[in-house]
Amino acid sequence: MLAEWITYLTTPCPWPLRRLGYLDEVIGTQSRYRRCRAAWAPHLENSRQAILAAAADTPARRKVTVLGSGLLLDVPLAELAALFDEVALVDVLHLRPARRAARRFSNVRLVAADVSGVIGRLDDPGGVPPSLDLPEGDADLVVSANLLTQLPFLPCRWLSRRADSEETIAAFARALMRQHLQALARLPGGVCLITEVEHRLCKGGDTVETFDPLYGLTVGVPADEWLWDIAPRPEINRRYDVRYRVVAVGM
């Protein structure tokens, strides 16, 4: 807890992001990774391999952009820096380990940007922009790295505190994710989309309940898929595990 508190106090973060919980969320993700490192390892390796497979299929390698680079746990940074002339790592904020890792490579840049386009617009829950230009979208390869379902997570939590209806919040989440998919589809280069498409509550080897984090949206035919044991018991519950079904899709 002390390490988390120090990170919270010393990480540069604009007030709107702190207010909405972005810094808390990334610090919490870092802590959960430390607790669940072994369970996360197959997912992180599968994500890295999906990115490298997409890179291998990219003929021009002037620039690669990773949207949702986060803690770089799922990003094969050294390999991308060796393959591409330029690597742009885009996220709403970057903790010190990510900044330190990026400094090791002269061709890697950190870009702080709101990929969702809605931070600062949340007083208008219907205010998802009809179109959005993704930051660093001129790359030969753009990776959306385990980002899609995270885009509406904190904005929807903020809206729920204002007593917006479940229907309004679901529509907002769906519109935000649809906007991201459409923005990826408009990009001039190749796209690698990695996202969960199903959440499972499990007891032992049995699935007790499922949830669609895409709210009915589809992402295309996966080139690969796997399960992510994101919260093995007792991380969230002493009796149940939480697993995500994750896909990698080329667009």
List residues bridging with 198 in a β-sheet: 245
Query: Please, is 204 exposed, middle or buried when counting C-beta atoms within 10 Å of its C-beta (0-12, 13-18, 19+)?
Result: exposed
Are the CB atoms for 246 and 149 separated by under 8 Å? no
Taking only the tens place, the pLDDT of each residue in 142-196 is: 999 999 999 999 988 888 887 668 888 899 999 999 999 999 999 999 999 999 9
CATH, range 2-250: 3.40.50
Tell me which of 52 and 14 has the higher pLDDT: 52
pLDDT in the model for residue 1: 62
Task: Calculate mean pLDDT across residues 208-218.
Answer: 96
pLDDT in the model for residue 127: 65
Range with the poorest average pLDDT among 70-84, 101-115, 148-162, 223-237: 148-162
One-letter identity of residue 97:
P
Range with the poorest average pLDDT among 45-49, 100-104, 123-127: 123-127
pLDDT in the model for residue 161: 81
> Where exactly are the structural domains of the chain?
2-250
Q: CB 247: neighbour CB atoms within 10 A? A: 19
